[in-house]
Amino acid sequence: MTRIIAVLSGKGGTGKTITALNLSVALGKMGYQVCAVDADLTMPNLSLIIGTEDATVTLHDVLSGEAELKDVLYSTAYENLYTIPAAIDWDHVVKADPRKLPTVVRRLAESFDFDFIIVDSPAGMQMDAVNAMLSASETILVTNPEISCITDTMKVGIVARKAGLKVLGFVLNRYGRSKNDIPPEAAEEVMEVKLLQVVPEDSAIREATLHGQPVVEYKPYSKGAKAFLALARKVVESGSARDS
């Protein structure tokens, strides 16, 4: 059974897309068949990093009824990883109907043999973000160790639970860049969900992004890469626990 996991955040700039990408690539390296969906319909970033920014047919075309899923499913340079990119021009944004996203993602799960579909969602709680959330059955929250970011992401988690999603936990990203960072234990208390993984501040992650690569490929033995690989293992284990 395909697991559909939305990666959510309360605000932009938390590293949500980097988390979605590295999680997807790490799961592929573990032998799972993965599809990463760029569901940020107005400001897509996953497509830029994963190398499909020049795709001529995208998720927007499916949401506007002008293409089929098979037309927008692209292979990537990474093992076992496929992607559905989003368009970066306003003309496509205007004609796409974000309300169709949950149906499209469910059809993707039914039509193709993926172990995981990772949905990179817009930040916040606008309509696009809510539809991306509702396309999944599970979610991972991503926050930085700042109180405003943690509280905003906590609110997203509350909405996700009320919508019936299984919240696997949260990722505390970019930890250690400031002496004023909220400690993991305090962040977990505020978030009221499980701390899945701490991803440390690591220059290797920034370097990898500048080179258009996930850090788990660019520098697989860096602190950041090890954290994302650990996150992937915990995601797999959470499914085993659920199914047992």
* pLDDT tens-digit map of 180-192: 999 999 999 999 9
Q: What is the DSSP string of 89-118?
A: SHHHHHH--GGGHHHHHHHHHHHS--SEEE
* Residue 240 pLDDT grade (very low, low, confident, very high; cuts 50, 70, 90): low
Structure tokens at 153: 């992401």
* Residue 244 pLDDT grade (very low, low, confident, very high; cuts 50, 70, 90): very low
Instruction: Confirm whether 243 is domain-assigned.
Output: no
* Residue 243 pLDDT grade (very low, low, confident, very high; cuts 50, 70, 90): very low
Share of the chain above pLDDT 70, in %: 98
Instruction: Confirm whether 117 is domain-assigned.
Output: yes
Which helix (H) or strand (E) element contains residue 18? helix 16-29
Report the C-alpha gap between 74 and 10 in whole angstroms: 29
Instruction: Confirm whether 190 is domain-assigned.
Output: yes
Instruction: Confirm whether 210 is domain-assigned.
Output: yes
Q: What is the CB-side half-sphere exposure of residue 107 using CA atoms within 13 A?
A: 12
Render pLDDT for 18-54 as a digit per residue (tens, 0 to 9): 999 999 999 999 999 999 999 999 989 998 889 888 8
* Residue 130 pLDDT grade (very low, low, confident, very high; cuts 50, 70, 90): very high
How high is the mean pLDDT of the chain? 94
Cβ atoms of 132 and 119 closer than 8 Å:
yes
Instruction: Confirm whether 105 is domain-assigned.
Output: yes
Average pLDDT estimate for 117-130? 94
CATH classification at residue 64: 3.40.50.300
Instruction: Confirm whether 38 is domain-assigned.
Output: yes
pLDDT at 242: 47
* Residue 93 pLDDT grade (very low, low, confident, very high; cuts 50, 70, 90): confident
Instruction: Confirm whether 163 is domain-assigned.
Output: yes
Q: Which domain holds residue 96?
A: 3-238
* pTM to 2 decimal places: 0.96
State how many domains the chain has: 1
Instruction: Confirm whether 244 is domain-assigned.
Output: no
